[in-house]
A and B are shown apart, each in its own frame.
Chain A
Amino acid sequence: MTTSTVTAPAAARPPRTATVPDPARQRRRRRLTQWGFVAPAVVFMLLFFGYPLVRNVVMSFQHYTPKTFFTGDAPFNGTDNWSHVFRDALFGKALWHTLVFTAGSLLGQFCIGLALAVFFNRRFPLNGVLRSLILLPWLVPMVVSGIVWRRILDQDTGVLNSFLDTLGLGGHTPWLTSPDMALLAVILVNVWIGIPFNMVILYGGLQEIPKDLYEAAALDGASAWRTFRSITLPMLRPVITVVLVLGFMSTVKILDLILALTDGGPADATQTLGTLTYQNSFVQLDFGAGAVVGNVLILISAVFAVFYLRANRTEGK
């Protein structure tokens, strides 16, 4: 069927030698070709990003319940879902936890990742082997890490507390069982998971920095710290932006790790916007309320995406 659409007009066309180049037609054709290239991406974006996004926004203004799946009716209820969610004390808590979790995770992942990247940037024996070993946390599925860490962090029988105990450092830390500690524990696990990603990308960035810059710095007698601050960091800036933005995007919407580690508990101490959306939509089956929280998450990500694009543009100039 595709061949017919192509050959039919081709057959109707006058012989090629007879055509006089018509600039307007040629421009039109070129435009068409360009759209041909863009079309698959546009269709994909509209279908898999645009539609769910619009649908999610619409849903947040609807009374969307299990009944809706049968009748298809989801009456609009104005801003009921929004005021309902915003009045819930849990929402404020979850928002705060999300911010703390994201900031803490990024800080930890980035600093340790950068330190490791700088470390591996030198040549030494077993460099490659060690580097690939460090990738492991990244390769393990999030849920598996969550379950393993839940055992490690168990207050009575966990490996971590036993280890601290033998060191004489107490060893009764209620990592996941105290509302005051749980968020910190979850952040620590997420830092562990995120280090490899940060390290790999930053390592790649470091490899791109021309070696002669360092040679010049050495000739000028710059100290190690000065070299790092004046050469490494500025040269690495585009890569750092990418790492932080990507890290932000994947951290702010965290769900699986928390579900596996604490299920949002104890006493809602680790509820984030991600777990709240999940709870609203899939436990309480109040899809309207779930959509509201989801939209807030999208909004937060969108704000950062704008920052990212801005940063990219100034970088390009």
Chain B
Amino acid sequence: MTAHPPAAAPGGRGRSRRVVAPFAAVSVLISAAALTGCGQQRDAGAYTVMNSSTDESYHRWDAEAMARCGKQLGVTIEQQSVPAAQVMTKALRMASSKSLPDIVQFDASEMPTFADAGGLTDLRTLGLSTRDIPEGIVNFGSYQGTYYGAARSVNTLALFYNKDVLDEAGLPVPTTWAELRETAKKLTQGKRYGVALSAGGAEDGVFQFTPFMWSNGGDETRLDSPQVVAALDYWKSLLKDGSLSKSTVSWTQADVNDQFMAGNAAMMINGPWQVETLNTKKSLHWGIARIPVPKAGDASVGPLGGAVLTVPNTGDEQRERTAARIVACLSGEREQLTYALNSWMVPANEKAAAVWRKRVPELDALADQVAAARSRTAKLGAGWSSVSLALQSAFQSALTGQSSQAALTRAQQRATSGN
């Protein structure tokens, strides 16, 4: 670095020019290339949908649905799939470079953030109807009273159980917390735990905690309430009994499913998107039931999950209208049923759901659970992410030794301070 070779010193005039010119050319080329990246011409007949269908089967199902809708509407629809965790940040970046796709499929818990930033268009003014869609699911796709997102299917959590293991032990499917605790204790044998659930430090864990929190009358607006503390204490009791693996704090929902399939857990809390994988193991006979409630007669309230199709605010009304028609087709009764049957999720449309119930009677419990399910962002909207982070930290602390009350009191402080 310090020693400077006298390279260019004896060079003649012509030579130095010859040297400088290529560098100048390269600099010009680089800046030109950087600038052309900004402008982008949209093709009138081609529409883009950004979603998180990175799984081979989901990508294929979506591609087929888009091909059908494209044919019907006389446009070509291109699918662009990015990992679920990147949909939001990618969409934001696209917004700042004015290159948003025509349709974005957001996870419903993320939609309010994008809507709050002014990034979405009201689907009703674009001509979308909400007829045949239950109020709960319209709210699921709405933010501050405006309908921004059309759900194709919804999901929630349920109790999955290994039929063979329960039959062998002669135990009924638990319906209350006390029964679940007792059953799990009895089914814990050798390497097998009674129950598996995800208390991982991400949205997965929070999703799984909500049915326990809500069914007990707790609420995300007051994390340190006695109801929430009792729900967390219930989780702790499962751990204390040894019916729940200590690894639960590091498991995602997919890990939980792996444990259940490997026979390391007799029951699990999970969602219908795992059914596709569960069915690959022919020797596994599983059943599904509503998540147990604190006391007999309590309502089992699960979290409503799923994605919604939205039309980003691009300022091009003509395109937005066509995009809305694509959304209408993809979330229409026929496509919903096809998608729901493929993915094992519950159709959002009432008529489609009725047909679906007849076609998949084994998932009846799930349809009931969905009907009573609640959206995570209904009360907090865009504020959900801070509460979710505080809650993750709280149940992880509590499950690894801290008292539930102390952990949740701190979580509430963290959530209100906005950290």
Interface residues, chain A, with chain B CB atoms under 8 Å away: 2, 5-6, 10, 16, 19, 29-30, 32-34, 36-37, 39-40, 43, 47, 65-72, 84, 87-88, 90, 150, 154-157, 174, 176-179, 262-268, 279, 282-285, 316
Residues of B within 8 A of A176 (CB): 247, 250
**Cβ of A155 and Cβ of B385 under 8 Å apart?**
no
| Nearest chain A CB to B188 CB, angstrom units | 12
Residues of B within 8 A of A68 (CB): 96
Cβ-defined partner of A33 (8 Å) among B2, B11, B119, B393: B11
| Nearest chain A CB to B189 CB, angstrom units | 13
**Cβ of A66 and Cβ of B385 under 8 Å apart?**
no
- Of all A-B residue pairs in the complex, the 6 with the closest CB atoms, nearest first, are A265-B201, A66-B117, A267-B396, A36-B20, A267-B397, A266-B249
**Cβ of A33 and Cβ of B19 under 8 Å apart?**
yes
B368 within 8 A of A: no
**Cβ of A65 and Cβ of B117 under 8 Å apart?**
yes
A289 closest partner in B (C-beta) = B419
Instruction: Report 26 cross-chain contacts, Cβ distance below 8 Å, ordered by A residue.
Output: A19-B13, A30-B16, A33-B8, A33-B16, A33-B19, A33-B20, A37-B23, A43-B30, A66-B119, A69-B96, A69-B117, A69-B119, A70-B96, A71-B118, A156-B247, A157-B259, A157-B262, A177-B247, A177-B400, A178-B246, A178-B400, A179-B400, A262-B201, A263-B200, A266-B400, A267-B397
Q: Knowing A32-B20, A69-B93 are in contact, say whether A267-B393 is a contact too (CB < 8 A).
A: yes
| Nearest chain A CB to B261 CB, angstrom units | 12
Residues of B within 8 A of A70 (CB): 95-96, 117-119, 313
Cβ-defined partner of A66 (8 Å) among B9, B19, B116: B116
Residues of A within 8 A of B93 (CB): 69
The total number of A-B Cβ pairs within 8 Å is: 150
| Nearest chain A CB to B94 CB, angstrom units | 9
Residues of A within 8 A of B34 (CB): 47
**Cβ of B14 and Cβ of A177 under 8 Å apart?**
no
**Cβ of B8 and Cβ of A30 under 8 Å apart?**
yes
**Cβ of A66 and Cβ of B17 under 8 Å apart?**
no
**Cβ of A67 and Cβ of B396 under 8 Å apart?**
no
Cβ-defined partner of B9 (8 Å) among A2, A30, A47: A30
Q: Knowing A10-B14, A179-B400 are in contact, say whether A262-B250 is a contact too (CB < 8 A).
A: yes
Number of interface residues of B (CB under 8 A): 63
| Nearest chain B CB to A33 CB, angstrom units | 4
**Cβ of B245 and Cβ of A155 under 8 Å apart?**
yes
Q: Knowing A156-B264, A282-B89, A284-B389 are in contact, say whether A66-B113 is a contact too (CB < 8 A).
A: yes
- Bound state CA distance, A262 and B389, in angstroms? 15
Residues of B within 8 A of A40 (CB): 23, 26-27
Cβ-defined partner of B17 (8 Å) among A10, A67, A156: A10
- Bound state CA distance, A155 and B367, in angstroms? 35
Residues of B within 8 A of A279 (CB): 389
Residues of B within 8 A of A87 (CB): 417, 419
| Nearest chain A CB to B39 CB, angstrom units | 18
- Bound state CA distance, A65 and B117, in angstroms? 8
A172 closest partner in B (C-beta) = B246
| Nearest chain A CB to B164 CB, angstrom units | 20
Query: What 0/1 readout, one digit per residue, does chain B (79-95) give for beta carbons within 8 Å of chain A?
Result: 00000010011001101
B169 within 8 A of A: no
**Cβ of B95 and Cβ of A263 under 8 Å apart?**
no
Cβ-defined partner of A177 (8 Å) among B17, B26, B96, B246: B246
B177 within 8 A of A: no
**Cβ of B392 and Cβ of A265 under 8 Å apart?**
yes
**Cβ of A154 and Cβ of B386 under 8 Å apart?**
no
**Cβ of B23 and Cβ of A266 under 8 Å apart?**
no
A150 closest partner in B (C-beta) = B250
Cβ-defined partner of B2 (8 Å) among A6, A178, A316: A316
Cβ-defined partner of A267 (8 Å) among B96, B191, B245, B400: B400
Residues of B within 8 A of A150 (CB): 250
**Cβ of B396 and Cβ of A266 under 8 Å apart?**
yes
**Cβ of B386 and Cβ of A284 under 8 Å apart?**
yes
Residues of A within 8 A of B11 (CB): 30, 33
